[in-house]
Chains A and B, each alone.
Chain A
Amino acid sequence: MKKIILLFSVFALFSFTISKDEGGKLPHVLLKKLDGTKTNSSTFNNDGKPIIISFWATWCKPCKKELDAIAEEYEEWQKETGVKLIAISIDDSRSSGKVVTDVKAKGWKYEVYIDENQEFKIAMNVNNVPHTFLIDGKGNIVWSHNSYSEGDEDRLYENVKKVIAGQKISH
């Protein structure tokens, strides 16, 4: 174990040069689909177009506000850019049964998975929900944002368009 610690201390010295913003890939984690079967996050795919990954929970008001706001424009976003939103619920077994009812009642057209024991949340280093990641067409994580305030969805979409145009994104 000492080796691992040493390994990390060495890595920490230049962590910024190889941090996620420079093109980290998605970790491989098993997630639950709404039909109870499992899928691996490594299978996330949008035919070379960008993917938005949004961490949320049924008890998280700002998360649902964000997903509601995007839902109003999602059809247009998809038509214009082909972007796909994958919503990852971090609800544990207390409320994971409510994910499917929330999604259907809200009429969201997203791809939804349940991260019941928060393994994906931990692997993606998410502190709190909502946390949104933007993945480019090659599967690199190019941007992320914590929390939601009104109008953030417009900035997110600006960034989606920048990714498609191959431009650099700033926070």
Chain B
Amino acid sequence: MSESFLIRGATLPTGERADILLDGGRIAEVGTVADAAGATVVDADGLVALPGLVDLHTHLREPGYEQSETVLTGTQAAAAGGFTAVFAMANTFPVADTAGVVEQELSLGEAAGYATVQPIGAVTVGLKGERLAELGAMAASRAHVRVFSDDGFCVFDPLLMRRALEYVKAFDGVIAQHAQEPRLTQGAQMNEGALSGELGLAGWPAVAEESIIARDVLLAEHVGSRLHVCHVSTAGSVEVIRWAKARGIDVTAEVTPHHLLLTEDLIAGYDPRYKVNPPLRRQEDVEALRAALADGTIDIVATDHAPHPVEAKESEWDAAANGMVGLESALSVVQQAMVDSGLMGWADVARVLSATPARIGRLSGHGEPVAAGSAAELTLVDPSATAPFGVDRLAGRSVNSPYLGRTLPGRVVATFHRGVPTLLDGTVRPADEVAAASARLADGGARG
């Protein structure tokens, strides 16, 4: 396949129509491109061109849980969803709490070639919440870690959280907090409210999230650090973050696609596909999260892509694993919740799913505007395609999607990573082809 692509007649996030020429790993030209010798032409009539999507919150499961996902299959899922970079959470086995593990993840991502895999480092050794992991070593490693998180667990000890926030200032890092007061959520199975009382499932109260966020923004203010809040799920959390931002505290926040669309009512049939942490909340929370994303109180959308094998979800509710796959469906869900509802335009989508996550994670070469000179990270989406979401849309190893059978708008048609197509005509490109192209680029980089 040729190494330059001429994308004809795409709609830019701004709404203008333009041709886009990808060449030499960059966007060479945007506008009316007469012709480009040797370039493969992609007809993008009716397609929106977005900067390659960046996910600040992905679980790739490798090393350790390869039955759920690997770096290869997870980045194939990313490509299918229009993502060109994913931040890999640290809850692997072994935990990504040393330079060795994060460098291994980085290498696996480079070898696969579907997306930039940017490892996230654990805040504490083994995610145990007892002592700091080697944050500096991970930051100085080849993986260049800037985001640290114990995701899955809250850094609950306030002194440890304070120290972590302070320490990562040395290398412009950020702590991404999984805000969950552990004592208030012992045994918690779903959002605490009227429905949990009826279903007899132990409640996960909103206050368990909100109280940790409130504490953390005050800590961040006190020590002058940067804080990122993972998967905000309640209206009350939105109010706390809005207050913190108004006060000038350096806090950013993410919301997942599922918290923008799904509500706790789905749990009434005890279907474990809807079991996730933080849990699905009320319609009022969904509305508040949408409004907060639209007005910038919540900065980004992050998937919390959490693959699990079939048996982990084929059980009674209590025994089922938390989590949903989300990379492949994210853009469609955001289109339904935010774009089709009139709350946001495609330029906003580019901001919340590409530019801002790249900036929060200090990831260069991603999130750049669709303009000449930017890195050739590009996603083409057909917003007019509306279809039931089926397993054919899932490209990772696991199928625990809450959207199967649900009609969703939009479809990612093509994804380019470093100028290499990872998805064309809605089909993930073969692994050997993508790996070979990636290897060629690495050689070229070494020569250059």
Q: State whether these chains interact.
A: no
